[in-house]
């Protein structure tokens, strides 16, 4: 008995790969921009005479930036994992049910590993 899983067509996989690679590029650019901005802010604060309130606002912003950086890094990992699933032939297959994830869901969330039931 064959244990072959359902799969999207090569043409659809190319479409998903293009979408994921576009998201990967955008996320990488956003992360790099944020990291550069963060470095510039640290250098500015280190060389500037700032009062306590300005310093406090700076550290609050830095904490928000760190949170955003972690989210972007996590998103990059998910996008890279999705590309790996395309390569190994498991992309678009629900890890819970083994059935294909709906195309509409993958177009909205190309890193999805599970399908969700549509609202009826």
Predicted confidence band of residue 3 (pLDDT cuts 50, 70, 90):
very low
Tallying the residues shown for the chain, one arrives at: 120
- How many structural domains is the chain composed of? 1
**41 in any annotated domain:** yes
Structural domain of 36: 10-91
Q: What pLDDT score does 49 carry? A: 67
Question: What's the pLDDT score for residue 87?
Answer: 95
Mean residue pLDDT of the chain comes to 86
SS3 of residue 79 by DSSP: helix
Per the domain annotation, does 67 fall within a domain? Answer: yes
Establish if 104 belongs to a structural domain.
Answer: no
Q: What is the pLDDT of residue 2?
A: 36
In a domain, 79, yes or no: yes
Question: Of 97, 117, 93, which Cα lies nearest the Cα of 13?
Answer: 93
pLDDT tens for 9-28 read 999 999 999 999 999 999 99
């Amino acid at each position: 008995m064959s244990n072959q899983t359902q799969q999207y067509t090569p043409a659809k996989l190319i479409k998903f790969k293009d979408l994921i690679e576009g998201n990967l590029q955008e996320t990488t650019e956003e992360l790099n921009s944020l990291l550069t901005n963060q470095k510039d802010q640290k250098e500015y604060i280190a060389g500037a005479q700032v009062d306590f309130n300005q310093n406090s606002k700076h550290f609050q912003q830095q904490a928000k930036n760190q949170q955003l950086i972690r989210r972007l890094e996590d998103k990059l990992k998910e996008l890279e994992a999705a590309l790996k699933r395309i390569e190994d032939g498991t992309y678009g297959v629900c890890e819970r049910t083994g059935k294909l994830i709906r195309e509409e869901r993958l177009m909205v969330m190309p890193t999805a590993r599970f399908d969700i039931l549509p609202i009826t």
